[in-house]
């Protein structure tokens, strides 16, 4: 006489982990759309974002327990478990990278090539309006000292070009990077001082950050100092330093 073994039950935990993981996907997409569109207050977008992160983290936690259950009791559910782990990991990849940067880098949202004498942002009415009423605050020296070890490569750019030619190089680089110029002044003939004020947007969430560029003629070189400041948050996760270095690279090696 043949005896049929009872069917192995399916892991409910694996199913719940998969459901949570998939549910976190539209939630995090909604958060991105809310922040990008600026249709609702920024705080709401962040609340939705953290909700998605919590859901994905919970999916991972439930998946771990489900894996233990499947291993010990021989239950079905490996496929659902695998999907849960994959989807939740993808959702958490970007927040996880930000968390790593938050731990690795100092808490700064304003970076400059010149710690001793950072460029000042224009306070003209035109610049104030273009920045939607925002003017970055001047950080004290103690806070600025934090960037020395974190971003040693962020330094003043020295060009052998005359001020007018250097100004054109900077203009071209800013245009290539698709920053929005809100105010500019070509170097004057007497002192060789010029500046460019611009607004740059981050790629994914379209945060608007402020950039000011100062040119000074030393008599033999044009000294270019750059300052980039975030409008949102106390930590920029390295964004401003990357932006400055990208501009310097573009000035030194213009495309085309």
The DSSP bridge pattern shows strands 157-159 and 180-185 to be unpaired
Q: What is the mean pLDDT of residues 56-71?
A: 93
CB-CB neighbours of 217 under 10 Å: 21
The DSSP bridge pattern shows strands 208-217 and 222-229 to be antiparallel
Note the pLDDT of residue 5.
47
- Strand, helix or coil for residue 13: helix
User: Looking at the predicted structure, is the pLDDT value of residue 7 above 80?
Assistant: no
* pLDDT tens digits, one per residue of 125-179: 989 998 988 888 888 888 888 899 899 999 999 999 999 999 999 999 999 999 9
Q: Phi first, then psi: give them for residue 242, nearest 5 degrees.
A: -60, -40
51, containing H or E segment:
helix 42-73
The mean of the pLDDT values for the chain is 91
* pLDDT tens digits, one per residue of 231-250: 988 899 999 999 999 999 99
* pLDDT tens digits, one per residue of 87-122: 999 999 999 999 999 999 999 999 999 999 999 999
Write down the pTM of the prediction.
0.85
């Amino acid at each position: 006489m043949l005896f049929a073994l009872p069917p192995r039950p399916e892991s409910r935990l694996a199913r719940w982990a998969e459901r949570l993981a998939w549910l976190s996907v539209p939630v995090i997409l909604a958060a991105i759309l809310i922040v990008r569109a600026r249709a609702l207050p920024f705080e709401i977008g962040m609340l939705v974002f953290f909700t998605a992160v919590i859901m994905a983290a919970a999916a991972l936690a439930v998946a771990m327990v489900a894996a233990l259950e499947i291993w010990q009791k021989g239950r079905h559910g490996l496929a659902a478990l695998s999907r849960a782990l994959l989807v939740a990991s993808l959702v958490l990849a970007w927040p996880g990278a930000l968390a790593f940067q938050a731990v690795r880098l100092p808490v700064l949202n304003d970076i400059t090539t010149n710690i001793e004498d950072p460029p000042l942002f224009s306070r003209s009415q035109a610049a104030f309006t273009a920045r939607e009423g925002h003017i970055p605050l001047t950080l004290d020296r103690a806070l600025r000292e934090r960037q020395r070890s974190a971003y040693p490569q962020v330094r003043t750019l020295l060009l052998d070009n005359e001020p007018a030619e250097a100004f054109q190089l900077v203009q071209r680089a800013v245009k290539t990077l698709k920053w929005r110029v809100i105010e500019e002044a070509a170097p004057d003939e007497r002192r060789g001082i010029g500046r460019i004020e611009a607004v740059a947007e981050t790629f994914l969430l379209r945060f608007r950050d402020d950039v000011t560029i100062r040119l000074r003629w030393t008599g033999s070189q044009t000294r270019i100092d750059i300052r980039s400041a975030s409008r949102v948050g106390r930590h920029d996760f390295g964004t401003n330093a990357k932006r400055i270095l990208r501009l310097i690279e573009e000035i030194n090696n213009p495309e085309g």
